[in-house]
């Protein structure tokens, strides 16, 4: 009888990919994915350490799971609870100490060892021992030890090509929880991508903490490939109609990648390129290794290569020492660039990062005021961008059913959520949709072609319809 595995995922797309691979790793050992923790034999919290109070949220969830574990014991069932991901990497033994109900703690570089960890955790549980903790950074690449076969992720899927970061931004924990930069060999990426396409995937998002720092071993000819070269190779896979990548660093946008945006129609016209601040003084304090003007030049070069390219970004307000003038410079950059959307947050210290010891804290009320002003500006730009889509025809990949019967929801080339009436047989297909209206966070439209003989799958992967 198959055992049930329930994975709850927090945070970034990388964690979504990692959770999927955890399921793949455990499948040969008799574990099937479950939809609820209630009847699970193994529960894993795949955690994220980026946002404020991430650790507290994990302990709160563990408190709720303890009751489930106690109930399973009363029923004569053995339930294991694991904590994975970046909080596990950062906290390690502290999790096992504070939450004895946890049976295994493992970091993002060791989940390929999950079957072994589960066996050890079961042995210790039966003998009354403490939980198993594995937060090493193993020398071997975990990707070499993952099963070749994997479950279908659906029409749109994530593919991890790079991990870790060598930038050491002063506010960020990623170098400490994910380790140094590592790029998978291009041949391995292509093999996994072909397998995903064979399973029904038509859109792949390439993932990395610093994805455009990719420098994997070349699939042919020796040497290494950058992200731009990898994108070109992926575009040659028959059936792969869309390619995206995230998250990027401005310092690693090179000529080859810009040329790929110009030349590869499968590469979608939307790029998430975090800047964090428009003030050079704050960028230096963040150790971002670029200036606001350098960022503007990169944006200009990308737009010259592909005029319909839309951008999103990340911003932190209230970084230690940020003045009113620094914030004004951030607003100026936002107005000059013009974003399709952006993510913005108030600075919060992460223990162990250099910024946490900087002092010169910005008052919370000031942070709130600045965040409100920034989000109002970004929100206005997003509304204008969405409104500008009205009347265009976009290729929409329908991914799920809507809130009412007969409605499907998908993504257009520019990552906008599109709602349209369409039959269920169009799920997983790329369909031409005429945009009828743009809203604050989505678009609504009508399918242009309906019928079994329509050409949904052979449409150009990017309808360059937004001026």
How is the chain split into domains, by residue range?
A: 3-134, 152-268, 270-387, 393-458
At how many degrees (to 10) do helices 227-235 and 255-263 cross? Answer: 20
Name the residue with tokens 């076969």.
149
Tokens linked to 163: 């991990």
CATH superfamily for 3-134 is Methylthiotransferase, N-terminal domain (3.40.50.12160)
pTM of the complete model:
0.82
Rounded to whole angstroms, how far apart are CA atoms 465 and 447?
16
Rounded to whole angstroms, how far apart are CA atoms 428 and 426?
6
What sign for the dihedral angle of Cα 250, 251, 257, 258? positive
Rounded to whole angstroms, how far apart are CA atoms 131 and 40?
18
Domain 270-387, architecture per CATH: 2-Layer Sandwich (3.30)
Rounded to whole angstroms, how far apart are CA atoms 225 and 145?
22
pLDDT at 264: 98
Q: What is the CA radius of gyration of the chain?
A: 23
**φ, ψ for residue 128, nearest 5 deg:** 80, 15
The yes/no answer on whether domain 393-458 falls in CATH 2.40.50.140 is: yes
pLDDT at 456: 38
pLDDT at 173: 86
Name the residue with tokens 């009888």.
1
Q: What is the pLDDT tens value at each position of the chain, 467 positions in all?
A: 689 999 999 877 888 888 998 998 999 899 999 989 999 999 999 988 766 677 788 888 998 999 999 999 999 999 999 999 888 888 888 888 888 889 999 988 888 889 999 999 988 776 666 788 888 766 456 677 677 766 677 999 999 999 889 999 999 988 888 888 999 999 999 999 999 999 999 999 999 999 999 999 999 989 999 999 999 999 999 999 999 999 999 999 999 999 999 999 999 999 999 999 999 999 999 999 999 999 999 999 999 999 999 999 999 999 999 999 999 999 999 999 999 999 999 999 888 899 999 988 999 999 999 999 999 999 999 999 999 999 999 999 999 999 899 999 999 999 999 999 999 999 999 999 999 999 999 999 999 964 443 333 333 333 333 32
Q: Do domains 270-387 and 393-458 have the same CATH topology?
A: no
Q: Under a CB-based contact definition with an 8 Å cutoff, are residues 288 and 169 in contact? A: yes
Q: Distance between terminal CA atoms of the chain?
A: 57
Strand partners, 435: 445
Name the residue with tokens 């945009």.
435
HSE, side-chain direction, 13 A CA sphere, residue 189: 31
pLDDT at 123: 85
pLDDT at 293: 98
The fold adopted by the segment(s) 152-268 is Transcription Regulator spoIIAA (3.30.750)
CA 194, distance to chain mean position in Å, is 21
Q: Which residues contact 443 (CB under 8 A, 6 or more apart)?
A: 386, 389, 394, 412, 416, 417, 418, 419, 435, 437
pLDDT at 463: 36
**φ, ψ for residue 69, nearest 5 deg:** -65, -40
């Amino acid at each position: 009888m198959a055992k049930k595995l329930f994975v709850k995922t927090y945070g970034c797309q990388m964690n979504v990919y990692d959770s999927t691979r955890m399921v793949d790793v455990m499948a040969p050992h008799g574990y099937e994915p479950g939809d609820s923790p209630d009847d699970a034999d193994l529960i894993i919290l795949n955690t994220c350490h980026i946002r404020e109070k991430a650790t507290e949220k994990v302990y709160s969830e563990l408190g709720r799971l303890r009751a489930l574990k106690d109930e399973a014991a009363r029923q004569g069932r053995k339930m294991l609870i694991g904590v994975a991901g970046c909080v596990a990497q950062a906290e390690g033994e502290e999790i096992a100490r504070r939450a004895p109900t946890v049976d295994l703690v493992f970091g993002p570089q060791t989940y390929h060892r999950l079957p072994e960890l589960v066996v050890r955790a079961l042995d210790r549980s039966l003998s009354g021992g403490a939980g198993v903790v594995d937060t090493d950074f193993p020398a071997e690449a975990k990707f070499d030890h993952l099963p070749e076969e994997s479950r279908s992720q659906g029409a749109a899927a994530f593919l991890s090509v790079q991990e870790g970061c060598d930038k050491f931004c002063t506010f960020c924990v990623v170098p400490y929880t994910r380790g140094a930069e590592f790029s998978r060999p291009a041949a391995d990426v292509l093999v996994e991508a072909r397998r995903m396409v064979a399973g029904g995937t038509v859109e792949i998002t390439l993932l990395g903490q610093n994805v455009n720092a990719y420098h994997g071993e070349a699939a042919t000819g020796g040497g290494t490939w950058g992200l731009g070269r990898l994108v070109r190779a992926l575009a040659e896979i028959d059936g792969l109609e869309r390619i995206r990548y995230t998250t990027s660093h401005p310092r690693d946008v090179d000529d080859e990648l810009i040329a790929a945006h110009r030349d590869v129609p499968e590469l979608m016209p939307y790029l998430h390129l975090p800047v964090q601040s428009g003030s050079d003084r704050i960028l230096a304090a963040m150790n971002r290794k670029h200036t606001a003007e350098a960022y503007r030049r990169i944006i200009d070069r990308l737009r010259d290569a592909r005029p319909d390219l839309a951008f999103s970004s990340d911003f932190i307000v209230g970084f230690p020492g940020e003045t009113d003038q620094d914030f004004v410079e951030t607003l100026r950059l936002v107005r000059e660039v013009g974003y399709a959307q952006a993510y913005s947050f108030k600075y919060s210290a992460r223990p162990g990062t250099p910024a946490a010891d900087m002092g010169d804290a910005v008052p919370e009320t000031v942070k709130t005021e600045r965040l409100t002003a920034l989000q109002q500006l970004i929100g206005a730009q997003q509304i204008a961008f969405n409104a500008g889509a009205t009347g265009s025809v976009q290729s929409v990949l329908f991914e799920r059913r809507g809130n009412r019967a007969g409605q499907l929801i998908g993504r257009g080339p520019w990552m906008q959520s599109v709602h349209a009436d369409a039959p269920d047989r169009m799920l997983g297909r790329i369909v031409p949709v005429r945009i009828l209206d743009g809203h604050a966070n989505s678009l609504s439209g009508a399918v242009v072609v309906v019928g079994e003989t329509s050409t949904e799958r052979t449409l150009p992967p990017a309808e360059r319809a937004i001026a």
